[in-house]
Amino acid sequence: MKKDYYEILGIDKGASAEQIKKAYRKKAIEFHPDKNPGDKAAEEKFKEAAEAYEVLSDADKKARYDQYGHAAFDGGFGGGGFGGGGMNMDDIFSQFGDIFGGAFGGGFGGFGGGGGVRRVKGSNLRIKVKLTLEEIANGVEKKIKVKRKVQAKGVTYRTCPTCNGTGQVVKITNTILGRMQTAAACNHCGGSGQILDGKPAGADAQGMVMEDETVSIKIPAGVADGMQLKVSGKGNDAPGANSIAGDLIVAIEEIEHDTLKREGENLHLDLYISYPEAVLGTSKDIDTVTGKVRIKLEDGIQSGKILRLKGKGLPSLNSYGNGDLLIHVNVWTPKNLNKEQRQFFEKSLNDENFSPKPEKSDKSFFEKVKDMFS
């Protein structure tokens, strides 16, 4: 089981963005590979801290993590989901290296001795995927065509003359504390340590071309409208032989169902029945996200009655089990009566059997609402 991100960084949920950043910097310096050469346990703690920071430093990811926990980032997406899971050292150095400045001499950019070449990461791509409630209930695999920027076939690169292939330039500044050494990504090569040497026809100034690719996306059951998933490595490529591709961010858009309304994992259905059906009782076929079910309505059922079908809602991302389907019974009162129908009801006006006789066991509307959320 994964550790709590707040516990990893040693902070509480109310920590500010600055406190999160400070806590991550402290942990990453403590477990940095340069300080702990060959220590696999320290390397794992270093990765854990980076994963926690990737999520908690992003307002959207943090909100989803606070609501769903680690389940928000599960689902079989490349690189461990759409959070920080599965990050490797290159991911960490390329994304978070600037948070350390000159803490490790030649700069926080790679393994062993500092000053390693920074692997440039391509930009992310974003798409929307529309899902029905049925697809959300069962999980689904979608094949989506995306237009990605990739390195052109035949493109070549050479060592950057400005940084001599290190990807960094070092500056020494005189301060009141003495001479300080800092490192920054090379502006000439963007930190990749390489510049374009030769490009084929049709490629842009960086040796890149646009290509269509069909990406298979496995979407877990129970996702919600507005949730974002990440497919690692399916964004744009970056120039350079040592570059890594960005990610494909998938935003979930829920298609409104004709009859079912969602509330978290629970579903609601308004069921309208006729007055004779309410008096005599009846059976009804009900649409659920897993198919039709037949329910029996007792004779004399009252409008406002709520029937609960256990487990007929949506699966929970955060835990096992499904929500429920709540059926709200509404007795439909006819507005246009013929003469005989009107005469029947006029005779029934003073009939004692038609007088309302609510029982103590009959709950009020507010009690029913309270029960729904208890």
Evaluate whether 261 touches 268 at the Cβ level (below 8 Å). Answer: yes
Give the tens place of pLDDT for each residue, 197-255: 998 999 998 899 999 999 999 999 999 999 999 999 999 998 887 788 999 999 999 99
- More confident site: 77 or 374: 374
Burial class (CB in 10 A: 0-12, 13-18, 19+), 29: middle
Nearest 5°: CA angle at 342, between 340 and 343? 65
CATH dotted code for 1-118: 1.10.287.110
- More confident site: 170 or 181: 170
pLDDT at 106 over 80: no
Rounded to an integer, what distance in angstroms lies between the CA atom of residue 57 and that of residue 65? 11
Predicted pLDDT at 273 = 96
Predicted pLDDT at 3 = 84
Rounded to an integer, what distance in angstroms lies between the CA atom of residue 94 and that of residue 244? 9
- According to DSSP, the β-strands at 260-263 and 140-151 are unpaired
Mean pLDDT of all residues in 156-160: 90
Question: pLDDT class for 276, splitting at 50, 70, 90?
Answer: very high
pLDDT at 170 over 90: no
Burial class (CB in 10 A: 0-12, 13-18, 19+), 315: buried
Predicted pLDDT at 150 = 95
Rounded to an integer, what distance in angstroms lies between the CA atom of residue 48 and that of residue 99? 16
Structural domain spans, the chain: 1-118, 260-372
Mean pLDDT of all residues in 9-35: 88
The residue assigned the tokens 């026809």 is 201
Helix (H) or strand (E) holding 129: strand 125-131
**DSSP three-state, residue 355:** coil
Rounded to an integer, what distance in angstroms lies between the CA atom of residue 287 and that of residue 223? 20
Fold (topology level) of 260-372: HSP40/DNAj peptide-binding domain (2.60.260)
Predicted pLDDT at 82 = 40
Predicted pLDDT at 64 = 80
Do 260-372 and 1-118 fall under one CATH topology?
A: no
Nearest 5°: CA angle at 200, between 195 and 206? 35
Give the tens place of pLDDT for each residue, 249-271: 999 999 999 999 999 999 999 99
Average pLDDT, the chain: 83
> Among candidates 16, 26, 185, 165, which has minimal Cα distance to 94?
185
Enter the pTM of the model: 0.62
Percent of residues, the chain, with pLDDT higher than 90: 46
pLDDT at 88 over 60: no
Q: How many Å is the Cα radius of gyration of the chain?
A: 30
Token readout for 194 is: 């390489």
Predicted pLDDT at 359 = 73
Question: pLDDT class for 166, splitting at 50, 70, 90?
Answer: confident
